[in-house]
Structure 1
Amino acid sequence: MKKSELQLNIISAEKKLFSGAVASVVIPGISGRFGVYPDHAPLISPLTEGDITYLENGTEKSLEVHGGIAEVNNGVVTICVI
């Protein structure tokens, strides 16, 4: 993984939905959508219904979620969704 990338892991109770290196991710937090980029400060945020959008190899991809929780720490974004 390059310094200009994040490790994104999206999981549900049933399975791993995505795991890979991304340039950025936009997350539907309960206080509004927020972007996460390399060198982002650590945080934990509950999620609301919406789309997680991420940039993988120059291609924007998205995943609809109905809630969950996100953690950002040391270049790793882990999102547990429902």
Structure 2
Amino acid sequence: MVMNIRVLTPDRIICSTTADEVVLPGVTGQIGVLDGHASLITALDTGLLRIKLDQKWTPIILCGGLAEIDRNQVTVLVNDVEELVSLELGEVTAELQKATVAVETAETSKARLEATLDLKKAAARVEAVNYLTN
């Protein structure tokens, strides 16, 4: 059996499709969802959502939000998503290194918080490129 998944932002529907498996970026780690998963509502972190259908993974970079799993329906409500257009591994790897340095050298807690968010996005981009090229 397949699950239905919808990814929504406040102003648009990002996708509405079926999936064999879903991996969500939870705030305490990745959450794998298969057919028949127990009902659950969870907070999502900035990171990579992966949707598997017919042995192919589709990555979507999420910018925080919530997910509700109810029987075979997964609804993901997020603040925003980042489009995966023309990402190259060398470029996103360099961004990841730059973001890592920014976190390490942040002088205030506000700067560290912003740098950490940029680091999460950069790491998700690298992971997304790896899924798209494999």
**TM-score normalised according to structure 1 size:** 0.92
In the other structure, the counterpart of 2:18 is 21
1:45 aligns with 2:32: no
Per-residue displacement from partner, 1:19-60 (whole Å, max 9, x unpaired)?
011001000011111100000000000000100001123211
Tell me which of 53, 56, 59 is aligned to 1:56: 53
In the other structure, the counterpart of 1:30 is 27
Q: Which amino acid aligns with 2:75?
A: T
Find the aligned partners of 1:18 and 1:53 in 2 and give their Cα distance.
12
Find the aligned partners of 1:54 and 1:21 in 2 and give their Cα distance.
9
Find the aligned partners of 2:32 and 2:68 in 1 and give their Cα distance.
13
Q: Which amino acid aligns with 2:57?
A: E
Structure in which a larger fraction of residues adopt strand: 1
Q: Which amino acid aligns with 2:15?
A: F
Point out which structure has higher relative CO (alpha carbons under 8 A, 6+ apart). 1
Computing the radius of gyration over CA atoms, which structure comes out larger, 1 or 2? 2
**TM-score normalised according to structure 2 size:** 0.57
Find the aligned partners of 2:55 and 2:7 in 1 and give their Cα distance.
19
1:71 aligns with 2:94: no
Tell me which of 6, 11, 14 is aligned to 1:9: 6
Cα RMSD (Å):
0.8
What count of residue pairs does the alignment treat as equivalent? 79
Deviation, structure 1 residue 72: 0.2
